Structure 1
């Protein structure tokens, strides 16, 4: 049996509302994360920010991996030339 067009329109309206609610939840979640990361304090053009978000999204979708193309760090994070308790003089 075929659905009447009125039923189909009701279903479409209901699904559009569900989509709107899901997008709102996603936006709030991403917004909270961005604020925690300090994005709200940075003056950046929207196009540049969008481009950065697209790059991050592609990394998580299986595009290029995080850190790909980056050289491994050769100096310790403290910059003092010490590795695992050894000084640079040893």
Structure 2
């Protein structure tokens, strides 16, 4: 038996709310990571920042992004780094 349109609308509404919540969680996560990386201190036009982030995303989608460092090699936020960016 087919679902009545009212049930489908209810399901769509429920799924839209789930989508909003998931997007909010993702935005908070990315925001925290961006601040941790120091992006909050950079004065840059939004378009330029979006373009740079799109390039980073493309690198990771292609698999050419750097692999995650082992936990023992991770640098604490604000820690001094050498000229190559490594701690």
**Gapped runs of 5+ residues in structure 2?**
67-81
Give the whole-Å Cα distance in 2 for the aligned partners of 1:5 and 1:11.
10
1-side partners of 2:61 and 2:37: how far apart? Answer: 21
**Alignment of structure 1 residues 4-83 onto 2, 5 Å:** 4-62=4-62, 65-66=64-65
Runs of 4+, deviation exceeding 2 Å: none
What is the Cα-based RMSD across aligned positions, in Å? 1.7
Unaligned runs of 5+ in 1: 68-76, 79-90
Q: Secondary structure, in 3 states, of the residue corresponding to 1:61?
A: helix
Q: TM-score, normalised by structure 2?
A: 0.73
Structure number with greater CO (CA < 8 Å, separation at least 6) is: 2
* Bigger fraction of residues in helix: 2
TM-score under structure 1 length normalisation: 0.70
C-alpha distance in structure 1 between counterparts of 2:39 and 2:2, whole Å: 51
User: 1:12 Cα shift?
Assistant: 0.2
How many residues in Structure 1 have an aligned counterpart in Structure 2?
68
